[in-house]
Amino acid sequence: MNTNLLYVPFRQSRAIDLGAELREVIRKDYFQTPSSFETDLLRITNLRNKVTALKGENLSVDNENTLKEYYVHLSSIRKKFADNCIEFGWYDTLTYGPSGPTKSRSLRVEQLNVIFQLGSLYSQLALLESRHTDEGLKNACSYFQMAAGCFELIASIVKKESEDSTSILQIPRDLQRETIECLKYLMLAQAQETIWQKALGNPSMKDTVIARLSIQTSTYYSQALEDGNKSDYIKLEWINHMGVKKFHFKAAALYRMSIVSQDIFEYGDQVAFLRAASASCDSALKYKKYVAPFVVEDLQGLTTMIKDVLRVAEKDNDLVYLKIVPNEKDLKPIAGVSMVKPTIPEQLSTPTEKRKPIFNELLPYIVIQVAQAFRERQDKFIQEKFVDPIHALNKLFTKFITDRGLPASIDSIQQPENLPDSITQHSQEIVSFGGIQIIEDSITEIRKLAVESRQVLEQCQNRLKLDMDEDEMLRQRQGSQHWGRPRTEEAASQLIERIQKMSNYLEQAKAGDDQVTSNYYEIRPYLEVYCSGYKGLIDFIPNSTYTKLDRNISVIVSDLREAVNQASVLEQQRKQFLMDLEIKSREKNILPSVIEEFKAKQDKIYDENGNFLEREFESVYEKHILEFTRDMKFIESTKSKQESLEHDLDTLNNRFVSEYSDRSNESQSKRKDVLQTLETVYSKYLEAISNLNEGSKFYSDFILKGNGVLLECEEYLHNRRMEGRELEIAIANRFRENTPVIQPPQEQVSSKENVEISPSSSPGKSHRRPVKKNEDNRVPLFSPTSKPGVWNPNQGIKFG
């Protein structure tokens, strides 16, 4: 493409079997058979392979249709699948050769890449149009405006996501605002340039109108240059190209105004405009390095012409007219007129399938998500209403019995030599849990999680420390009086507060971990006894001498034993209840009810913006959960039984203690103490396991949420660095700025030098006189009496 305009190269991506990826997702996460969707899976695979095969050769409208069709299909897929179900990778091509790939598990980001490809295609189709015919210029202008519309759509989506605090979408950095805004304004500048070129072909076109078109073209290039300087992905050749164009068109506008001044005999203004135009040419020449030869040639032609005319005008004014030459800032500003605007293709703004939607019969994943969310709410309901209360009752009951020395006090009397049943059960239960090993493995795991959590915290702190150090360095280098932005303490106050809370949580967790570990090592020797089996327990527990009890004590001990046994029965009933409840929870699947509701309300569950209305399914959950609320009676019943048993146990134990305590012998006391210790160890073992589970959950949640904060810190640091670079450029420009300003404000030459492109028509060769008509009798774009407005390629330019 030999032209003096730029095109945006296609991004690149490796071909993937998208159909196979989606087939696996359906197989794993859906309750439908993937084979039912083979036609759709094959269609989407072929489409994406066509998209990834796009090259800058033999481009046509067919490529446009392919990209649009793929985009529309992605919109349909997003309604059926989770956004993060597939990983895609794309290579950036704006810099020097492909870089990447940037990988993302997001269908939404895949759509952004397709929009980018479409914008790139339009920019290339525009350059394929002939710029020597009216029709070619109209088509080129239209394509450039559609390219700008694609990039504007990306920018609006990126902005919306960045402002949405609930969004978890990670936009690739090469699609961030500065880069995309630069491409958008570059496309608008080139679209405006085609309008300007067409205006030159009209012999009756006023110089003032051409000047206004020129200055607006300069403004667009200026905005593209400003955003390009902020981006890490716009290469030097492009920066220089936009710099040359910015000052070239400004010089062209000033030159046209000098002709207007000459025509109305304002020779002083003529000289002033020519001097300003000459200065703009000099500024443009500073950017010529790495710029395409055609662009530099146009600039040099314009520069030579302006300087020649300036010498003649200065000589005539000095010798003949003797008019005062005003300063550039005193000249009347040139008001630009924009004849272009971003045009978003209809299929992107309102994507609709031309035929039967892809995966039309597939259950939307959002329905699966709703069912999963309800299942999680159901599990939480069961945990809070049944599991936690029963565990709390068991814990209170165990403490109540243990505090009264039961059943050790009666075991030492009734079973002076045999191993008590309760101790045997405790031993079996501890071994089934995993004994000592499960606790030590949990402690090791928690220590690893604690270290990982501390690392996440330190990484967050390091990001803010980096910003603080960099800000202080720049503040000292630039001077505090110029470095007008908040310090880290103010700019990151919310992040600092959150990180401090994270630190406090870890300190509290460490204290809790130390306490749990200390408690474990206290009971560890006794757990070794529990895990040593029957012989180990028999050897550890001392025997006691047999004591014959009188009838009254025997009755009390027998009643006390019966009450203790009732406590064990009550605990077993609760265990069985929870097992039955778990089975019921698995069998009572809410998904069929959600699917039924979805089919019944299919037209009512989306709002006017296409958002899924989950609240429409709330009645399904409320009806479903009634199946479990009926079981609440068991909680009240078992609690009542426990209160009654506690009363009986307390009464019987008080009678036993008052009537037997003075009759026990030393051997019974020793046996009782050991049995009581083992009962207490069992209780502490269960407590340790519960605490370790909570600790593991705490650290896992901390790492998950901490990584979220870390991402925010990295984003904050990136934004601050971009902000710092912009501020440095602004400070440098402020010191360099010596040139008076013409509307729109003149921008300073960037510290970057410039771009590589391809060459065709130029603003530099036809500024003094209108271009002659081509052989194909062109219709004038507008007349001196025309009014400003937006140009439609099919209607010509209108002002209004």
Q: In the predicted model, is pLDDT for residue 771 greater than 70?
A: no
pLDDT exceeds 60 at position 72: yes
In a domain, 793, yes or no: no
Q: What is the CATH number of the domain that holds 429?
A: 1.20.140.50
**401 domain-assigned:** no
Q: In which band, very low, low, confident or very high, does the pLDDT at 514 lie, cut at 50, 70 and 90?
A: very high
Rounded to the nearest 10 degrees, the angle between the axes of helix 551-587 and helix 365-382 is 170
Backbone angles phi, psi at 90, to 5 degrees: -130, 140
Residue carrying structure tokens 């949580």 = 505
627: confidence class by pLDDT, cuts 50, 70, 90: confident
Of 704, 732, 760, the residue at which a domain comes to its end is 732
603 or 569: which leads in pLDDT = 569
Domain boundary among 614, 636, 660: 660
Q: Which is more confident, 797 or 83? A: 83
Whether the bond between 744 and the residue before it is cis, its omega within 30 degrees of 0, is yes
Which residue in the block uniquely carries the two structure tokens 């589970």?
A: 693
The tens digit of pLDDT for each residue in 169-186 reads: 788 888 989 999 999 999
- Residue 606, pLDDT score: 61
- The reply to whether 307 and 426 lie within a common domain is no
pLDDT score of 770 more than 70: no
316 and 180 within one domain: yes
744-768 pLDDT, tens digit each:
333 333 334 333 333 333 333 333 3
CA distance 502 to 456: 10
Q: What is the pLDDT of residue 524?
A: 92
pLDDT band at 203 (very low <50, low <70, confident <90, very high): confident
Show the CA angle centred on residue 166, arms to residues 162 and 170, nearest 5°: 50
CA dist 303 to 245, 603, 747, Å?
Answer: 13, 65, 19
Does residue 738 have a pLDDT over 70? no
Cα atoms in the Cβ-side hemisphere of radius 13 Å centred on 459: 16
State the residue for tokens 């914008």.
Answer: 119
> Over pLDDT 70: what percentage of the chain?
88
Report the C-alpha gap between 594 and 611 in whole angstroms: 17
Given a cut of 50, whether residue 777 has pLDDT beyond it is: no
Measured CA to CA in angstroms, residue 472 lies from 466, 479, 480, 495, 750 at distances of 10, 10, 9, 19, 25
DSSP codes of every residue in 531-550: TTHHHHHHHHSPP----PPP
The mean-pLDDT minimum among 156-165, 581-590, 725-734, 773-782 falls in: 773-782
What is the tens place of the pLDDT at every residue in 271-290?
Answer: 999 999 999 999 999 999 99
CA dihedral 533, 534, 539, 540 (to 10 degrees): 60
> Residue range 140-153: average pLDDT?
96
Question: What pLDDT, on the 0 to 100 scale, is given for residue 362?
Answer: 86
Residues 199 and 298 placed together within one structural domain of the fold: yes
Is 207 in a helix, a strand, or coil?
A: helix
Q: Indicate if 23 and 126 belong to the same structural domain.
A: yes
CA-to-CA dists, residue 225 to 9, 468, 786, angstroms: 18, 30, 31
Are both 46 and 63 inside the same structural domain?
Answer: yes
CA–CA dist 213, 194 (Å, integer):
10
Q: Please tell me which residue, 781 or 464, carries the higher pLDDT value.
A: 464
Quickly state the pLDDT bin for 547 (edges 50, 70, 90): low
- Specify whether the CB–CB gap between 345 and 193 falls below 8 A: no
Query: Could you list the residue range(s) of the whole structural domain that residue 133 is in?
Result: 1-6+14-175
How many separate domains does the chain show? 4
Q: Is the pLDDT reported for residue 773 higher than 50?
A: no
- Do the domain assignments include residue 374? yes
What pLDDT does 605 receive? 65
Residue 626's nearest CA partner among 570, 588, 669 is 588
Distance CA 503, CA 506 (A): 5
Are 580 and 605 contained in the same domain? yes
Closest CA to 422 of 434, 438, 406, 433: 406
Res. 165: pLDDT tops 50: yes
Same domain, 76 and 147: yes
Residue 137 lies in a domain: yes
Give me the phi and psi of 146, to 5 degrees please: -70, -35
pLDDT tens-digit map of 436-488? 999 999 999 999 999 999 999 999 999 999 999 999 998 888 888 788 889 99
Confirm whether 187 is domain-assigned: yes
What's the confidence (pLDDT) of residue 410?
A: 77
Q: Specify which residues 89 forms β-bridges with.
A: 103
Residues 447 and 452: their CA atoms lie apart, in Å, by 9
Instruction: Note whether 23 and 132 are same-domain residues.
Output: yes
pLDDT in tens, 294-321: 999 999 999 999 999 999 999 999 999 8
* Spatial distance between the Cα atoms of 671 and 410, rounded to a whole number of angstroms: 10
Q: What value does the mean pLDDT of the chain take? A: 84
214 has a pLDDT exceeding 90: yes
What average pLDDT does range 227-239 have in this prediction? 93
Neighbour count for residue 613 (Cβ, 10 Å): 12
The pLDDT value given to residue 751 = 37
Please tell me whether residues 433 and 530 are part of one structural domain: yes
Residue 37: inside a domain: yes
- pTM value? 0.63
Residues 6 or more apart in contact with residue 518 via CB below 8 angstroms: none
Which of 99-103, 386-390, 653-657, 761-765 shows the lowest per-residue confidence on average (mean pLDDT)? Answer: 761-765
Q: Give pLDDT, residue 28.
A: 86
Residue 781 within a domain = no
Q: Given this model, what pLDDT does residue 421 score?
A: 81
Task: Look at residues 115, 173, 102 and name the one whose alpha carbon lies nearest to residue 146.
Answer: 115
Does residue 703 lie within any of the structural domains? yes
* Same domain as 204, residue 137: no
DSSP secondary structure letter of residue 102? E
The DSSP code for 612 is: B
Separation of alpha carbons 307 and 329, rounded Å: 20
**265-290: burial string, b at 16+ Cβ within 10 Å, e else:** ebbbbbbbbbbbbbbbbebbbebbeb
Residue 799 binned pLDDT confidence (cut-offs 50, 70, 90): very low
Task: Note the pLDDT of residue 261.
Answer: 94
**Residue 268: which CATH number?**
1.25.40.280
> Are 625 and 728 part of one and the same domain?
no
For CA atoms 323, 326, 330, 333, give the dihedral sign.
positive
Segments in 404-434 forming alpha helices (H): 408-414, 421-433
Contact in structure between 778 and 793 (CB atoms under 8 Å) = no
Verify that 80 and 160 share a domain, yes or no.
yes
